[in-house]
Structure 1
């Protein structure tokens, strides 16, 4: 018989080998995650940073305009961005699964379909910006804030049209692991936005108009760079030029786009409605400004989580296309571990520097004090931000947007908003009460999405993804010989 000491030694050796193998698998998976996530994070931080920089310039121009800008950015722009981002995420699902299955030529068709659908959608939504003043007055905002918001809404029209092309292109490129170019272009866009704002606002003394012109010009520089990259031949296997096939079989893509749009809109509008509730407080300017600035701080960290959301979507979609259910489960674990670790770091930073960050956006001591009072709640929101976006990304990658839309509606609108309204208006908590309601809604959503992810049969999802790709491919008039097997 084998000596007990030798048995123990062999068992330890096996454990060490398994541990070493696990570390290697985590390292390999992490590289795949960050290959998509890091460029995505950079591009989102820069894009959102441009909005925040503009807010900072306006905040030092006028307190009323700061509140008006906060209303437009948080309500109108978030409303439209939510719809277009959600609808573009259908491109992320389809392109990611097509890339995983080696059907790369279909990706260019999906991109063009997204442009068609998004362009029509945004044009239909334009009255939100054209009649901004009337809408804000209709929902009961102060007249001075409503007038300022309506004026700023008109300046946002050229800006929001960049979403039609930019969002879909980002999904298209990151699905084929080519989104580093977006990070470089986004960094360039942000780099020129700050000096351009300084020049127009202060050098030419254009004030509010200068800040908004700078925002539109810099955002369209990014889109032009993306067009040059795609049309210039850097995507030879996935972009074969414009085709009438993009106008065929639009209905299934519209259905997936709508469910994607509803899923993300219910999430983004949730915060917008909470800002609207803050506008009915006794001191509306202070409440709106403080709440909007806190949301912007929250959103800075959320951009990192959205980057990992993109990683989750791409990894799940790619592995579904390849038919590898086991790899999906492992990737989800690594994604969650990575995102939670980042969330803990920002949780601590927010607790330490909460009030000091407020002065980047305002000179008003009352606004800064209100933000300081919210810093603890803001920290917990940031921590939750590190979990649920990854779970949402998993759902997008699997094409389960419809299920998540129902979850978001119940958790946010049946639970979160009523709780926030009750605590905000029927207690002395006011803005704190609204934020507590927001956290409660996000917490219930996180728990529910976690349970759904845990209970999902990924082998069944592999079959569904295969059927979807086959249906879309067969309905296209493209020749199978044209399909590239790029990996």
Structure 2
């Protein structure tokens, strides 16, 4: 199958690894040893990346949890803003920033360290411009939510909260390029410690402002914005002080060169990721069109909260495999890239099975961690089986997307996502939820079908890939 193999970097080491393609490590009796060696490389990247992703996701998720302990409306407001408004911005920013995973990863593998800082600055220019374009969505989020079918009560509350969350939008624009810049150099430990420190402060100040001082959603917005900006500031201090082993050499006018090619790859990355993130965001929106939607929306939001935490594990593996594949392709070793894909897939799915079992065995208990409403808890318990299936599928799907990013296949995966999610999954969900009257369970079941189909296709694409040609 043809892939997007447009050369992004000049690489004089293209034959490295190909000469040794049939080395002794390929022999079957060395497979276990080889698996362990690759796992060690993987976990050095994935472990800190998972904790970092969990900590940063927990900023919004814990804010949502605190809101759920104040009132059902506050929970719905924060959930809809997090899932729809901020979720849209998060997808665009993270997606466009993911272009750096391809460029910086391959540059690092090819030994072109100086270009990493240039690429990060180009990404800042593009993402800050994109943030300005997204501002009207925050400003007019209330009428937008009403237009797509959300109730007036939820739309107004979520719209007010969205206005307070504008600073977070610009923190995203700086943070995601910084993270990809550091990840490509395997400097994941610094992001881990920064994220943990900020999370601890976030928990304390959320409790102080939302409960002790009774500032409610205003306190939630102040704390959440401050936490994201503190992450950005601490990461920048680290980069400016350490120079990142030569990857940062100061601001340069080179950042304004070749912006068209960079925008093209950034847009492909954004479309690929946004089609995935918006898919589950649409689940929340469609559920809001059911009769008496407050309880189903709250129940779905709790499930999405848990799914989001689980997805951070897969995103950690996504980051790790993207770095491994892009580094190895940049260095010319196609065998290492191919084997890394198998190792991370087996590892991630094993973890997904464990988490699915935990979800199913605690289905009667975990809802009460997020709500005091018995009705919401019962509805959440009904959705737990679907959550378990989603958790399992999401253990592999983001990993395969990470392989795509590392290899530069973003445009191909975007087409796959359109077909599986929006031509198959979404119509099936609407049909089951509304036409056949299965409600939130029907909507989610149909959309799971889209995720399953996309995962199967990505498995086939990855399996038939000629990794020698990718190098």
TM normalised by structure 1 equals: 0.90
Q: 2:292: which partner in 1?
A: 283
What's the secondary structure of 2:411's corresponding residue? helix
Q: For structure 1, which runs of at least 5 residues remain unmatched after alignment? A: 1-14, 463-487
1:44 partnered with 2:53: yes
How many angstroms apart in 1 are the aligned matches of 2:363 and 2:316? Answer: 23
Q: CA deviation at 1:56?
A: 1.2
* CA deviation profile, 1:214-235 (whole Å, cap 9, x unmatched): 1111221111110011001250
Q: CA deviation at 1:272?
A: 0.9
1:119 partnered with 2:131: no
Q: 2:79: which partner in 1?
A: 70
Count of residues in Structure 1 that have an aligned counterpart in Structure 2: 448
How many angstroms apart in 1 are the aligned matches of 2:261 and 2:175? Answer: 22
What's the secondary structure of 1:61's corresponding residue? coil
1:314 partnered with 2:328: no
What are the residue-to-residue correspondences of 1:393-404 with 2, within 5 Å? 393-404=402-413
Q: CA deviation at 1:21?
A: 2.4
* CA deviation profile, 1:217-256 (whole Å, cap 9, x unmatched): 1221111110011001250311111000000011101000
How many angstroms apart in 2 are the aligned matches of 1:19 and 1:360? Answer: 48
How many angstroms apart in 2 are the aligned matches of 1:193 and 1:414? Answer: 40
Q: 1:472: which partner in 2?
A: none
Is contact 2:149-2:285 (8 Å) kept?
A: no
How many angstroms apart in 2 are the aligned matches of 1:164 and 1:246? Answer: 16
* CA deviation profile, 1:19-55 (whole Å, cap 9, x unmatched): 6622221111111111111111111101111111101
Q: 1:236: which partner in 2?
A: 245
How many angstroms apart in 1 are the aligned matches of 2:155 and 2:427? Answer: 25
More divergent stretch after superposition (178-187 vs 19-28): 19-28
How many angstroms apart in 2 are the aligned matches of 1:451 and 1:317? Answer: 20
* CA deviation profile, 1:176-226 (whole Å, cap 9, x unmatched): 111110011001111110111111112222111111111111221111110
Q: 1:214: which partner in 2?
A: 223
What's the secondary structure of 2:364's corresponding residue? helix
1:305 partnered with 2:311: no
What are the residue-to-residue correspondences of 1:345-360 with 2, within 5 Å? 345-360=354-369
More divergent stretch after superposition (130-139 vs 90-99): 130-139
Q: 1:136: which partner in 2?
A: 145
* CA deviation profile, 1:70-104 (whole Å, cap 9, x unmatched): 11111111111111111000011100000000001
Q: For structure 2, which runs of at least 5 residues remain unmatched after alignment? A: 1-23
Give the 4+ runs in structure 1 shifted more than 4 A.
17-20
What's the secondary structure of 1:363's corresponding residue? coil
How many angstroms apart in 1 are the aligned matches of 2:38 and 2:373? Answer: 46
Q: 1:468: which partner in 2?
A: none
How many angstroms apart in 1 are the aligned matches of 2:329 and 2:188? Answer: 20
What are the residue-to-residue correspondences of 1:130-209 with 2, within 5 Å? 130-209=139-218
Is contact 2:433-2:439 (8 Å) kept?
A: yes
Is contact 2:243-2:249 (8 Å) kept?
A: no
Q: 1:432: which partner in 2?
A: 441
How many angstroms apart in 2 are the aligned matches of 1:229 and 1:133? Answer: 39
More divergent stretch after superposition (166-175 vs 197-206): 197-206
Q: 1:343: which partner in 2?
A: 352
1:329 partnered with 2:353: no
How many angstroms apart in 2 are the aligned matches of 1:301 and 1:354? Answer: 15
Q: 1:388: which partner in 2?
A: 397
* CA deviation profile, 1:107-141 (whole Å, cap 9, x unmatched): 00000001000000011011111111111121222
Q: 1:447: which partner in 2?
A: 456
Q: 2:255: which partner in 1?
A: 246
TM normalised by structure 2 equals: 0.93
How many angstroms apart in 2 are the aligned matches of 1:207 and 1:64? Answer: 12
How many angstroms apart in 1 are the aligned matches of 2:312 and 2:84? Answer: 18
Is contact 1:96-1:314 (8 Å) kept?
A: yes
Q: 1:12: which partner in 2?
A: none
Is contact 2:77-2:157 (8 Å) kept?
A: yes
Is contact 1:61-1:208 (8 Å) kept?
A: no
Q: 1:57: which partner in 2?
A: 66
* CA deviation profile, 1:383-402 (whole Å, cap 9, x unmatched): 11111111100000000000
Q: CA deviation at 1:59?
A: 1.2
Q: CA deviation at 1:160?
A: 2.1
How many angstroms apart in 1 are the aligned matches of 2:195 and 2:341? Answer: 28
Is contact 2:77-2:161 (8 Å) kept?
A: yes
What's the secondary structure of 1:196's corresponding residue? helix
How many angstroms apart in 1 are the aligned matches of 2:146 and 2:90? Answer: 22
